[in-house]
């Protein structure tokens, strides 16, 4: 896993983070208050402040939790032997399925990056977001290194890796904006949608041959 972080295991903390993620996704950072999260939990603000001293700390906690979980999801494929294009395929598929299963957390990560790009309002926010975005960038670099290796092996063809990685994640992350689970939907449905998204990106990387999924 990236760095020395450990995924939150305390159920009370995880419950707060998931409730906060729902609120941040629905209202955005600015419009969400600790009161909103407490109401969603059916708890007092004191329970939240026991774990997170401020709204900024709570947002950072949700961001980190979201990143920690996605890092765990892709970990089995990071050092997978064989061609880099095949490793990328498994990384991308795991990433996309997680975007669908944990879209509220993923949306908070996306909002945190957007806040960083727009410029945080206070020095404290900027400091917190700088650290969070570095974490997210270290995750992104796993994919960057993989597609560059696949290009060197002759399987992918693209020009600027930075532009390619940004475009790649725009597509792989897209389900957090449009995916809505339907009644009766099962794991097979999620797999099918994720495969279609990954195939689209694979062809954008001008991957050779058919995608083996």
CATH superfamily, domain 54-204, is Tetracycline Repressor, domain 2 (1.10.357.10)
> Which pLDDT belongs to residue 69?
93
Mean pLDDT across the chain: 87
Residues 97-112: tens digit of each pLDDT:
999 999 888 888 887 7
Q: Is the pLDDT of residue 172 over 80?
A: yes
Averaged pLDDT for residues 59-75: 92
Evaluate if residue 146 carries a pLDDT over 90.
yes
| 5, 47, 79, 116, 117 from 29: Cα distances, Å | 24, 20, 36, 12, 15
- Average of per-residue pLDDT across 13-39: 90
- Report which listed range, 8-12, 127-131, 195-199, is most confident: 195-199
Stretch (H or E) spanning 101: helix 84-101
Mean per-residue pLDDT, 155-166: 94
pTM score of the predicted model: 0.84
């Amino acid at each position: 896993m990236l760095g020395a972080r450990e995924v939150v295991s305390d159920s009370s903390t995880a419950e707060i983070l998931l409730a906060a993620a729902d609120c941040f996704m629905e209202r955005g950072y600015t419009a969400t208050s600790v009161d909103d999260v407490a109401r969603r939990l059916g708890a007092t603000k004191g329970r939240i402040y026991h774990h997170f001293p401020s709204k900024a700390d709570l947002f950072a906690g949700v961001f980190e939790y979201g990143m920690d979980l996605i890092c765990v999801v892709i970990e089995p494929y990071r050092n997978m032997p064989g061609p880099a294009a095949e490793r990328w395929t498994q990384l991308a598929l795991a990433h996309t399925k997680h975007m669908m299963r944990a879209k509220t957390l993923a949306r908070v990560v996306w909002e945190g990056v957007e806040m960083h790009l727009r410029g945080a309002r206070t020095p404290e926010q900027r400091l917190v977001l700088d650290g969070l975005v570095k974490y997210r960038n270290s995750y992104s670099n796993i994919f960057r290194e993989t597609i560059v290796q696949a290009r060197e092996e002759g399987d992918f063809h693209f020009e600027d890796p930075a532009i390619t990685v940004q475009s790649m994640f725009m597509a792989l992350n897209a389900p957090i904006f449009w995916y809505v689970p339907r009644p009766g939907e099962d794991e097979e449905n999620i797999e099918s949608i994720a495969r279609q998204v990954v195939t689209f990106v694979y062809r954008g990387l001008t991957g050779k041959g058919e995608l083996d999924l």
